[in-house]
Amino acid sequence: MKHLQSSTMGKPARLLTILVLLVMILVAVNGSNGVVTAGHQEWPAHGMICTSNPSATFTLTTRGGAISTPDGNLVYMWGYSEAENPFQHPSPVLCVNEGDTVTIVLNNTLSHDVSIIFPGQHDVLANGLPSQPQFDLGGNLTSLAPVAAANGGSMTYSFVADSPGTYLYESGTEPAIQVNMGLFGALVVRPAAHLDWAYNEVAISGDDIYTTQFNPDAEFVMLFSEIDPVLHMAVEQGQPYNMNNYRSRYWLINGRSFPDTVAPNGAEWLPSQPYGSLVYIHPHNDDPGAGEAYNPYPALIRYLSVGTENYPHHPHGNHSRIVAQDGNVLVGSGGEDMSYEKFTSLLGPGQTYDELFAWADVENWNPVTNPIPVTIPQLQNLTFGTFYSGSPYLGTSDALPVGQQVLNSCGEYYHIAHNHALQQITAWGIVLSGHITFARIDPPLPNDCN
């Protein structure tokens, strides 16, 4: 009888029981590893983080908060946060599709009137009426757009995003102060027909036709800004500030100064500064038979500036191809290719650039099949760079002189990218900070880098 009863527990039930016991044992073995989950763990570590939704309707709430700088300072800032989210800097990257009617509800919790302007967008409405500059009774300009009044006011802006491109949104009220305080963000309009193109247009060059198609896994945004901490302290304390005394002390990419720039998106130690700017790519490869190494499309880097100064940004190692400026694709009326390669992009206040970037192993150097035809001197006769792996070949590490240290873990390449106005790569006088980031090129997939 016992056997008959047990036989009523069918094979699936027995297997399930064994499985449950195994899981219990695994739990007992592992226990807690003490890992604290990150606030943004679902984000990819690198690349542009879009805030988007099907209705292209966003609620932005102004908030005050603090950011940290690598020299140990905390700077009081303002920002637009999505809905009830806490303060963040910079404000969210809003991504919409061409043709969307974009609606932005601005709720203002600050003690100053605040607005939003959308450079590059047409026929913007504010509470259903044309968004226009505002004047006081004396005829003095008070704001470039209708405001959400201080301490709880609201304003709804809307427009049709009819031109793909990279744009800013920023405060139009007391902009010299409010934009420096952090009331700005990036707006990305994607072509409706090609979400992985930067623009709709195709360019013709001889018999070749070019598009702005990019690798969606390698889309980056770099939003350049600057901070005068004395201004911020005055605002925090409710004190007056004379703009004639304005002097930038910190320079930031995506709200961070180097070396925080190369930290991942959502880095736990930067809770209010969620966006990194490490350009993380793999070598170009247009051979469909290359398996995981197949990587035919370039990275897209969207550059923007909300600073008051020119930023001559300068990625080492490779030129970038500028395909658009200020949301205008560089294609002639007859389809002429007017894009161009540039080593240093002079990013002026309020400007944006869209640039395609790829790293290609053009010569296919290989230590066995295609060695570099140079006799490499003995180790002691070489000077090594910080990022040299001991081998010139991507994905290969080799011997280094005793005591030589480099920043390289799997034969990857690092190309620094920095502002060439050298005072802008400092943090209140401390050198090698500010507008610096890196491009990291890993060996072709599959590799053992991660």
Shortest reach from residue 46's CB to another protein, in Å: 7
**Contact in structure between 189 and 168 (CB atoms under 8 Å):** no
By the rule CB under 8 A, 439 interacts with another protein? no
By the rule CB under 8 A, 379 interacts with another protein? no
Between 34 and 54, whose beta carbon lies closer to another protein? 34
Among 305, 224, 266, 290, residue whose Cα is nearest residue 47:
266
By the rule CB under 8 A, 412 interacts with another protein? yes
Between 6 and 237, whose beta carbon lies closer to another protein? 6
By the rule CB under 8 A, 355 interacts with another protein? no
Shortest reach from residue 32's CB to another protein, in Å: 5
By the rule CB under 8 A, 34 interacts with another protein? yes
Query: DSSP string of 390-433?
Result: SSSSTT------TT---S-SSS-EEEEEEESSGGGGEETTEES-
By the rule CB under 8 A, 137 interacts with another protein? no
Shortest reach from residue 315's CB to another protein, in Å: 16
By the rule CB under 8 A, 417 interacts with another protein? no
Between 47 and 165, whose beta carbon lies closer to another protein? 47
Mention every residue, 6+ apart, whose C-beta is less than 8 A from residue 257: 69, 70, 250, 251, 427, 433, 434, 435
By the rule CB under 8 A, 29 interacts with another protein? yes
**Contact in structure between 390 and 397 (CB atoms under 8 Å):** yes
**Contact in structure between 201 and 103 (CB atoms under 8 Å):** no
**Contact in structure between 413 and 236 (CB atoms under 8 Å):** no
Q: Which of 327, 433, 435, 444 is in the footprint of another protein by CB under 8 A?
A: 433
By the rule CB under 8 A, 431 interacts with another protein? yes
Distance between alpha carbon 261 and the CA centroid of its chain, in Å? 9
Checking 423-427 for CB contacts under 8 A at 24+ apart, the result is 424/226, 424/248, 424/251, 424/309, 424/311, 425/251, 425/258, 426/251, 427/69, 427/70, 427/71, 427/73, 427/249, 427/250, 427/257
By the rule CB under 8 A, 382 interacts with another protein? no
By the rule CB under 8 A, 269 interacts with another protein? yes
Shortest reach from residue 358's CB to another protein, in Å: 18
What x/- string results for residues 66 through 85 when contact with another protein is judged by CB under 8 A?
Answer: ----xxxx------------
Q: Which of 16, 24, 176, 338 is in the footprint of another protein by CB under 8 A?
A: 24
Among 100, 90, 92, residue whose Cα is nearest residue 60:
92
The total of other beta-carbon atoms located within 10 Å of residue 2's CB is: 6
Binding residues (CB under 8 A) for another protein: these are: 3-4, 6-7, 9, 11, 14, 17-18, 21-22, 24-25, 28-29, 31-36, 45-46, 70-73, 259, 262-264, 267-269, 278, 280, 386, 405-410, 412, 414, 430-433, 438, 440, 442, 449-450
